[in-house]
Structure 1
Amino acid sequence: MFDQLVAKLPVGICVVDEQYRLQYLNAFFLDRMRPDQRHNYLQQPLISIFPEQAKFLTRRIKSVFVLQHPSFSYWEQRAHIFPFKSSRPITGEETQMYQNMEIVPISGPSSEQKLACIILQDVTAQASYLMAQQELASALKQEHTAQRKLIKKLDSAQSQLIQAEKMASTGQLAAGIAHEINNPIGFVTANLATLKDYSEQLLNLCDALADKLQVTSPSLAQFSAQTMDTYHYELLKEDISPLVDESCEGLNRVRDIVENLKQFALEESTGWQLFNLHETTQQLVKLVGAQYKAPVYKVSCNPPNLQIFCEPASIKQALTNILINAAQSIKCKGFVKIDIRATAQRVSIKVIDSGVGISAENIKKIFDPFFTTKPEGMGQGLGLSVAYTAIEKHKGKIIANSNPGRGTVVEILVPVVHPEQRHECAEPLGGS
């Protein structure tokens, strides 16, 4: 009777041994497996039946056997552990099952046999309800934010239109903060490197002592082996080096982002000056790419390391707004290319994206203040207007062409100005 009860439970029950071989599956599990997986499953490795989750399951089950404590995984952490479907009670619609999983240590028929019981709960209904509530709350929050932004729209417009003049001082502040962040990153990185060396030496010491005891004193060697097993020495030895490496990799990524921010934000002086357009564009791509990861970014410059005489704050503001617009237009996969070319008379900067594109009706309005095709609350329609004003200050112009569904090309054209001409009024450009 007990077996029949377990078989009918509305939760999945799966029992594996220390080699991850299946010892038992209840009907919940069997009914959701493919037909070819249901026959002769006993003594088959669980990870061979579900290879896509092998690494995750192996780590969780191993920790239960080693520590003899339960292990939990909730749908918020990993939504779909097993590739099972869940049917809606009313509509009958099938959707991928959201799952809570608990693994508990149990004993087998023999007191020395260790087993692990995986308990799988279908929480699709609860997860769907919670996500719907979160979406509703997010929508209400966006609507509230949009209303507040609408009230402050005129103030925001003024703030955006003078942003280019403020970028120099703001950049110095950002560079100072980046410098302060780099200090703790530096000593934490150094400490981690030292910690890795110490841990390797400590592990080598333990191995050397164990080898020596094996030769000189079998009794002490047996005690050493039992002690190491008690404190899970093999698990520590396996885990400690990857953990330190992952921490170092994370710190290196933070340091790279901070360094790019520092280099992009900091100006040696304000006003017109020589400005490395190629280098700054590469830094900007790294910063935007850290936030918008969908596109693949590429920068080309001819000649390489091109320097121009300009007001860097305005050029940076224009490039930032145009590049962010390009990145936001790509929802899943695509590319953003920045192609910089210079002649004796002018510099061309093309930002090419493979995003959703802009309709012929809207392409004529994109540089108008407050014009935007983004949902209410997602943008004020000032980014390209500010970019247009910044480039106009350099007697240049911006040209936009787009093919809906295939992408957009925005080209910045500015005349070449030499330092001795900084107080002269450059002639506006002619045709493209």
Structure 2
Amino acid sequence: MFEQLVGKLPVGIGIVDEQFNVVYLNDFFLDRLPHDLRDCYKDTPVTDLFQGQAKFLKRRLKSVFVLQHPSFSYWEQRPHIFPFKSSRPITGEETQMYQNMEILPIKDKSSGQKLACIFLQDVTAQASYFRAQQKLSEALKKEHEAQRKLIRKLDTAQSQLIQAEKMASTGQLAAGIAHEINNPVGFVNANLNTLGQYASHLISICDGVYAQLEQFNDELKEQIDALFQSNHYDLLKEDITELIEESTDGLTRVKDIVENLKNFSLKNTEGVRTVDVCTICNQLITLISAQYSAPHYKFECEHEKVEVMGNPGPLKQALMNVMINAAQAIETKGFVKLSVIEKGDSVVIKILDSGCGIPVKHRKRLFEPFFTTKPEGQGQGLGLSVAYTAIEQHQGKISISSKENKGTVVEITIPKQLSCLENESIDSELDSPLTP
């Protein structure tokens, strides 16, 4: 009865030996194995049954057997350890299963054999609830911030509201944030490099001592060997380099994001000058992809450098507003493609997304200030209005074509050179936005 109960529990229970061979799997695991493996899984290495997770499982199991301590892995750290699906009880919809895993050291009382019990829990519902609460909290924060700004700017003109929208963007905060983050990242990175060198030297010293073990007398040889075994030298040697490399890779990613935040700082005081559109687009994709991870982003340009005359701040703001709209139009899977094309004396920037598209009834109002289809508190309806104004003041054009449930294409055309009149007055005009 106990074995039947364990077999039917709505959690995964598996037992493996020190060679990682499977001793037992309950129905939770068996029902998710391929049919040809369900009757012959015993004595098969768990790393063969789940090859995609072999390296991770081997590290965790080895740690449990050597240290005789439980090992935990929560869904926030590694969401999908095993390639299982989780179905919703009402809709029947299947999604990738979020899992908590605990590996416990156990021992067979009759034989004294060391075993490890893999305990797997489906926490998809809890993870979904947690993520929904996170989104709700973020939406409430954005709503509160928007309300605070609107109340403060209620008695001002439209130009002041647009300025408030810009000041709320990530680019306006980038320089200060980047400076604050760069300091700790710098010394942590330096410490990691030094730690990596120290670890390498220590491993070399230990390997050198172990290589000369035969030259010592038996008593000293036994003491050194026992010291290596008691401190699990093989496990430490295998783990320490990989841990340092993973930490260094994480810091590199942080540095890249911070650098792009600095480069994409939205400053309108630079005046009219030569602007490299390709550099702006590359920075933009890095910045947006860090904030909106669902779509796949692609950038295409025939040339390494495409230059126009203009004010970098408003141009960056216009492109960022359009890119954010494209990213937000995609809920789970899809792509955003950014293309730069030279056409004679003009540059064409196309932003294509495979999102939900724009209903026909809304297309004539897209550039109206304060028009938005987003839920209350999640936008002021100024994004495309700001983009339209900035592009128009650069003597350019912006057009949008869209199909519901297919996607949207935004095409921006900017002349490479501004007329003399516009070149002289564009900086002052940017402080007095036009209404599309």
TM-score tier, shorter chain, comes to: 0.7 to 0.9
Confirm whether residue 378 of structure 1 aligns to residue 378 of structure 2: yes
| Cα offset, 1:101, TM superposition | 4.0
**Contact 2:274-2:307 within 8 A present in 1 as well:** yes
Which residue in 1 is equivalent to 2:290? 290
Which residue in 1 is equivalent to 2:125? 128
**Contact 1:295-1:330 within 8 A present in 2 as well:** no
Which residue in 2 is equivalent to 1:256? 256
**Contact 2:266-2:314 within 8 A present in 1 as well:** no
d(CA) in 2 for partners of 1:171, 1:148? 16
Which residue in 2 is equivalent to 1:300? 301
| Cα offset, 1:368, TM superposition | 0.9
| Cα offset, 1:282, TM superposition | 2.0
d(CA) in 2 for partners of 1:98, 1:268? 45
Alignment of 1:397-412 (within 5 A): 397-412=397-412
Which residue in 1 is equivalent to 2:67? 67
Confirm whether residue 337 of structure 1 aligns to residue 317 of structure 2: no
| Change beyond 3 A, Cα 1:8–1:196 | same
**Structure 2 residue identity aligned to 1:373:** T
**Structure 1 residue identity aligned to 2:281:** T
TM-score, length basis structure 1: 0.80
| Change beyond 3 A, Cα 1:218–1:38 | same
Helix, strand or coil at the partner of 1:422? helix
| Cα offset, 1:358, TM superposition | 2.2
| Change beyond 3 A, Cα 1:339–1:406 | farther
Larger radius of gyration: 1
d(CA) in 2 for partners of 1:141, 1:287? 19
**Contact 2:15-2:118 within 8 A present in 1 as well:** yes
**Contact 1:80-1:99 within 8 A present in 2 as well:** yes
Question: What runs of 5+ residues in structure 2 fail to find an aligned partner?
Answer: 427-436
| Change beyond 3 A, Cα 1:255–1:232 | same
Helix, strand or coil at the partner of 1:265? coil
| Cα offset, 1:112, TM superposition | 5.2
d(CA) in 2 for partners of 1:172, 1:281? 17
Deviations along 1:46-75, whole A, 9 cap, x unmatched?
Answer: 332333443333222222101111223455
**Contact 1:164-1:317 within 8 A present in 2 as well:** no
TM-score, length basis structure 2: 0.79
| Change beyond 3 A, Cα 1:7–1:51 | farther
Which residue in 1 is equivalent to 2:433? none
Give the root-mean-square deviation of aligned CA atoms.
3.9
Deviates more, 1:349-358 or 1:92-101: 92-101
d(CA) in 2 for partners of 1:85, 1:408? 32
**Structure 2 residue identity aligned to 1:300:** C
**Contact 2:22-2:46 within 8 A present in 1 as well:** yes
Which residue in 1 is equivalent to 2:193? 193
| Cα offset, 1:152, TM superposition | 6.5
d(CA) in 2 for partners of 1:158, 1:268? 14
Which residue in 1 is equivalent to 2:349? 349
Alignment of 1:15-94 (within 5 A): 15-25=15-25, 36-74=36-74
**Structure 2 residue identity aligned to 1:233:** Y
Deviates more, 1:146-155 or 1:266-275: 146-155
**Contact 2:336-2:351 within 8 A present in 1 as well:** no
d(CA) in 1 for partners of 2:131, 2:183? 38
**Structure 2 residue identity aligned to 1:333:** G
Which residue in 2 is equivalent to 1:241? 241
Deviations along 1:210-231, whole A, 9 cap, x unmatched?
Answer: 1112233343222212111111
Deviations along 1:19-55, whole A, 9 cap, x unmatched?
Answer: 0123344566556655543434432223323334433
Confirm whether residue 8 of structure 1 aligns to residue 5 of structure 2: yes
| Change beyond 3 A, Cα 1:266–1:385 | closer
Which residue in 2 is equivalent to 1:310? 310
| Cα offset, 1:418, TM superposition | 6.0
Helix, strand or coil at the partner of 1:339? strand
d(CA) in 1 for partners of 2:289, 2:385? 23
**Contact 1:289-1:297 within 8 A present in 2 as well:** no
d(CA) in 2 for partners of 1:310, 1:83? 50
**Structure 1 residue identity aligned to 2:64:** V
| Change beyond 3 A, Cα 1:380–1:84 | same
| Change beyond 3 A, Cα 1:160–1:353 | farther
Confirm whether residue 387 of structure 1 aligns to residue 387 of structure 2: yes
Which residue in 2 is equivalent to 1:325? 325
| Cα offset, 1:321, TM superposition | 0.6
d(CA) in 2 for partners of 1:86, 1:420? 63
**Contact 2:185-2:255 within 8 A present in 1 as well:** yes
d(CA) in 2 for partners of 1:382, 1:362? 15
d(CA) in 1 for partners of 2:373, 2:419? 39
| Cα offset, 1:18, TM superposition | 0.2
**Structure 1 residue identity aligned to 2:188:** V
Deviates more, 1:312-321 or 1:65-74: 65-74
Percent identity among equivalent residues?
46
d(CA) in 1 for partners of 2:410, 2:284? 16
Alignment of 1:409-420 (within 5 A): 409-415=409-415, 416-417=417-418
**Contact 1:7-1:28 within 8 A present in 2 as well:** no
Which residue in 2 is equivalent to 1:430? none
Helix, strand or coil at the partner of 1:247? helix
| Change beyond 3 A, Cα 1:88–1:230 | same
| Change beyond 3 A, Cα 1:45–1:402 | same
Helix, strand or coil at the partner of 1:371? coil
d(CA) in 1 for partners of 2:261, 2:383? 20
| Change beyond 3 A, Cα 1:255–1:329 | same
**Contact 1:295-1:327 within 8 A present in 2 as well:** no
| Cα offset, 1:248, TM superposition | 1.2
Helix, strand or coil at the partner of 2:424? coil
